[in-house]
Amino acid sequence: MVNRPSKPREPNSHEYDFHGMRAVEAERRLKQILDRHGRQSGAVLYIIHGKGTGTLAEIVQKIANQHPRVEHVQRQFVNDGVTRIEMA
């Protein structure tokens, strides 16, 4: 997993690159990320999972929707390869 050092898309935003991860690894890592940012009200996370078969995108959406501190999940934010998550 790579935390991409790029220009923030918006204040309090963070990008995480999940390319090449296996499903189990992506699930574990996303839970860690959501827990870490769960106390940051208004934090915006960009999970870059790529297009591929859609498995990682489905995992990201499922886990994010189950997390109690996630306010909104926007799949296909820029394209099929990015999911945007807003923390409550």
Q: Is 62 helix (H, G, I), strand (E, B) or coil?
A: helix
The answer to whether residue 1 scores a pLDDT higher than 50 is no
pTM: 0.85
8 falls in which pLDDT band (50, 70, 90)?
low
Asked if CATH classification 3.30.450.40 holds for the domain at 13-78, the reply, yes or no, is no
Those residues with Cβ within 8 angstroms of residue 71's Cβ, 6 or more apart along the chain or in another chain: 86, 87, 88
The answer to whether residue 5 scores a pLDDT higher than 90 is no
Strands (E), the chain: 13-17, 44-48, 70-75, 82-87
Among 56-60, 63-67, 74-78, name the one with the lowest average pLDDT: 74-78
φ/ψ of 40, rounded to 5, equals -100, 85
Closest CA to 75 of 59, 67, 87, 88: 59
The pLDDT tens digits for 47-61 are 999 999 999 999 999
